[in-house]
């Protein structure tokens, strides 16, 4: 089976390497020459646990290659996946589909033989049919079907999620396309991964509805965390008690600084626009987005309060910048909203992150100091803010760190520590919803 993956980012690279591991011949195409050069030199341009070994093994095995030229590989392909970015369009919150349609027109003239063109990018309802129109217009004789195969992997656990999915969704318009996609995913039959075959529109919507529902769970528990703070309840206990009900489930009920990342923020906004375009209601998702924004603002107020009412001239050691651990991705990280708000009011910020500082430097306003060690962040600091729950921050030597600091404030935005432990170590501790 010959597979072309257009886009070698988080999704394209992981999916391409995993399909190669399944035994397919995979060509990953990206228009960024520096990305392809790095991959051909054995360097992985993103941080994703396990990816380096997986890529190296499949390149060595002759099943995975990287190029900027799509012509020959598209001509030989049984399936062409489009895994390019669909960021929020400036100004209106819609998904920007220019990269998807550009990829569709680039591949159109190279198609030979029957080919299935698969949207793996997260795209609004109707995009697969529009991709079909774009290709048909550029190449009226091409023998092809379009399909939708949304991706549900999470950064930081992407390979495991891809190899052991809760489900694979295949939106198809013909039995021929279904057969080919089922053949590609056949190795997953061994672990009995459920495969849901449906129409194009339902597959496209399943992705947005799933992300919006998960974002809803997070905003719900974040809203409850405010009520917990007001009433003296403990949000961890509340989430645990709720999660014991199998109808609710215990996943995605961790209160924190608000969801971030490359998917939830943009996909909730896009879903609202899709609903508006079709004259449908999206009131729940609109509230989810609002609650997420106010949770980030609430975290700024919480840090200010912990510092005695003003952050001016206070040195804050920030542990973690990325939107979650085990990734270098800073897209829509809560830190991007919280830290500039503190710096604007005169806080001196010293930030540490195991993988995210290079990208943070390009996205954060100047004036933030990035340090290489946790100790450097905490030396003479008035307060610590634990922003992202990297493993390195879960077992801190609290007494030693406390002795490095000038102040004793610890704001735990991920509820990693217990109040008693922190107070025993001499910290004045605040958390989220506890
Ligand atoms: P990304 O920005 O990491 O990668 C996209 C890549 O596509 C870039 O390297 C870019 O250079 C390349 N590209 C763009 N146009 C191209 C073209 N015409 N030809 C060749 N290469 C081209 O994006 P991502 O995070 O991998 O996301 C891709 C899609 O998958 C998005 O729609 C996203 O919503 C969805 N998705 C992402 C995740 C995730 O965790 N990141 C999970 C599930 C779904
Ligand atoms: C998400 C979806 O989970 C995945 O299925 C989809 O394919 C891409 O988007 P990802 O963004 O990589 O994956 O990470 P995820 O683990 O879902 O976390 C997203 C954000 O929600 C992070 O900022 C995380 O800290 C936050 N979160 C998650 C919470 O605040 N509480 C939770 O209980 C879970």
Residue closest via CA to ligand 2's atom 25 equals 324
pLDDT attached to residue 354:
98
> What are the CA-CA distances from residue 84 to residues 11, 47, 120, 365, 390 (Å)?
8, 18, 8, 28, 28
Q: What is the mean pLDDT of the chain?
A: 97
- What is the arrangement of strands in the sheet containing 348-352, beginning at the earlier edge strand? 369-370, 348-352, 315-319, 383-386, 409-412, 428-431
pLDDT, one tens digit per residue, over 191-242 is: 999 999 999 999 999 999 999 999 999 999 999 999 999 999 999 999 999 9
Mode of pairing for the β-strands spanning 25-29 and 409-412: unpaired
- Percent of the chain as helix, strand, coil, to the nearest 5: 45, 15, 40
Please identify every residue annotated as catalytic: 263
Residue 169, beta-bridge partner list: 196
Locate the ligand 1 atom nearest the alpha carbon of residue 46 and give its number: 3
Q: Which residues in the chain come in under a pLDDT of 50? A: none
Record the tokens describing residue 383, joined without a space.
């307060």
Measuring CA to CA, which residue among 120, 302, 282 is closest to residue 216?
Answer: 282
Record the tokens describing residue 48, joined without a space.
């994703």
User: Which ligand sits nearest to residue 327's alpha carbon?
Assistant: 2
Measuring CA to CA, which residue among 110, 125, 122, 29 is closest to residue 75?
Answer: 110
pLDDT attached to residue 233:
98
CB 78 within 8 A of CB 27: no
In the reported structure, the alpha carbon of residue 400 is separated from the centroid of ligand 1 by a whole-number distance in angstroms of 42
256 is in an annotated binding site: yes
ipTM given for this complex: 0.98
343 is in an annotated binding site: no
> What are the CA-CA distances from residue 134 to residues 81, 98, 138, 171, 204 (Å)?
15, 12, 6, 19, 18
pLDDT attached to residue 113:
96
The single-letter DSSP state of residue 87 is P
Label residue 57 exposed, middle or buried (CB < 10 Å: 0-12, 13-18, 19+). middle
* Domains of the chain (ranges, CATH numbers): 2-198 (3.40.50.720), 199-434 (3.40.50.720)
Greatest alpha-carbon pair distance for the chain in Å reads: 74
* Mutate which of 32, 262, 270, 325 for ligand 1 pocket (most atoms within 8 A of beta carbon): 262
Three-class SS state of 77? coil
pLDDT attached to residue 91:
87
CB 144 within 8 A of CB 76: no
DSSP 353-414: -SS-HHHHHHHSPTT-EE-SSHHHHHTT-SEEEE-S--GGGTT--HHHHHHH-SS-EEEETT
pLDDT attached to residue 327:
95
154 is in an annotated binding site: yes
152 is in an annotated binding site: yes
Using alpha carbons only, give the angle 387, 336, 398 rounded to the nearest 5 degrees. Answer: 20
Mode of pairing for the β-strands spanning 409-412 and 383-386: parallel
Beta-carbon contacts of residue 45 (< 8 Å; ≥ 6 apart) = 8, 13, 35, 38, 39
User: Which ligand sits nearest to residue 152's alpha carbon?
Assistant: 2
Cα torsion angle, 418, 423, 427, 433, sign:
positive
Residue closest via CA to ligand 2's atom 6 equals 152
pLDDT, one tens digit per residue, over 75-107 is: 999 999 999 999 999 889 999 999 999 999 999
Q: Is the CB of 157 under 6 A from ligand 2?
A: no
CB 194 within 8 A of CB 167: yes
d(CA 167, CA 188): 10
- CA 293, distance to chain mean position in Å, is 17
d(CA 434, CA 418): 10
């Amino acid at each position: 089976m010959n597979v072309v993956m257009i886009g070698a980012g988080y999704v394209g690279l992981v999916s391409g390497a995993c399909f190669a591991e399944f035994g397919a011949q995979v060509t990953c195409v990206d228009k960024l020459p520096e990305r392809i050069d790095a991959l051909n030199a054995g360097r992985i341009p993103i941080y994703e646990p396990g990816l380096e070994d997986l890529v190296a093994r499949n390149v060595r095995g002759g099943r995975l290659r990287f190029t900027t030229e799509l012509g020959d590989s598209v001509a030989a392909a049984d399936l062409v996946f489009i895994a390019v970015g669909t960021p929020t369009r400036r100004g209106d919150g819609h998904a920007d589909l220019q990269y998807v349609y550009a990829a569709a027109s680039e591949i159109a003239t190279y198609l030979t033989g029957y080919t299935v063109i698969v949207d793996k990018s997260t795209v609004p309802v109707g995009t697969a049919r529009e991709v079909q129109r774009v290709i048909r217009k550029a190449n009226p004789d091409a023998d092809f079907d379009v399909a939708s195969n949304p991706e549900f992997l999470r950064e930081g656990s992407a390979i495991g999620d891809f190899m052991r999915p809760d489900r694979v969704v295949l939106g198809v318009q013909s039995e021929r396309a279904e057969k080919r996609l089922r053949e590609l995913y056949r190795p997953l039959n061994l672990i009995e991964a459920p495969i849901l075959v449906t129409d194009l529109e339902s597959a496209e919507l399943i992705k947005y509805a799933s992300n919006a529902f998960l974002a809803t769970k997070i905003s719900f528990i974040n809203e409850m965390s405010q009520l917990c703070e007001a009433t003296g309840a403990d949000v961890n206990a509340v989430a645990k008690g709720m999660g014991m009900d199998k109808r609710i489930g215990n996943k995605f009920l961790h209160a924190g600084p608000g969801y971030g990342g490359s998917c939830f923020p943009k996909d909730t906004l896009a879903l609202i626009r899709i609903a508006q375009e079709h004259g449908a209601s999206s009131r729940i998702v609109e509230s989810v987005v609002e609650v997420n924004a106010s949770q980030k603002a609430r975290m700024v107020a919480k840090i200010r309060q912990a510092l005695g009412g003003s952050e001016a001239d206070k040195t804050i050691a920030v542990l973690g910048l990325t939107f979650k651990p085990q990734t270098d991705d800073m897209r829509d990280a809560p830190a991007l909203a919280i830290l500039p708000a503190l710096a604007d009011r005169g806080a001196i910020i010293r930030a540490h992150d195991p993988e995210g500082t290079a990208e943070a430097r390009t996205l954060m306003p100047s004036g933030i100091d990035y340090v290489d060690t946790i100790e450097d962040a905490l030396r003479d600091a008035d307060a610590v803010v634990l922003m992202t729950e990297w493993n390195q921050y879960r077992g801190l030597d609290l007494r030693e760190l406390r002795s490095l600091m000038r102040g004793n404030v610890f704001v735990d935005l991920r509820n990693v520590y217990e109040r008693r432990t922190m107070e025993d170590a001499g910290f004045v501790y605040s958390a989220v919803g506890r």
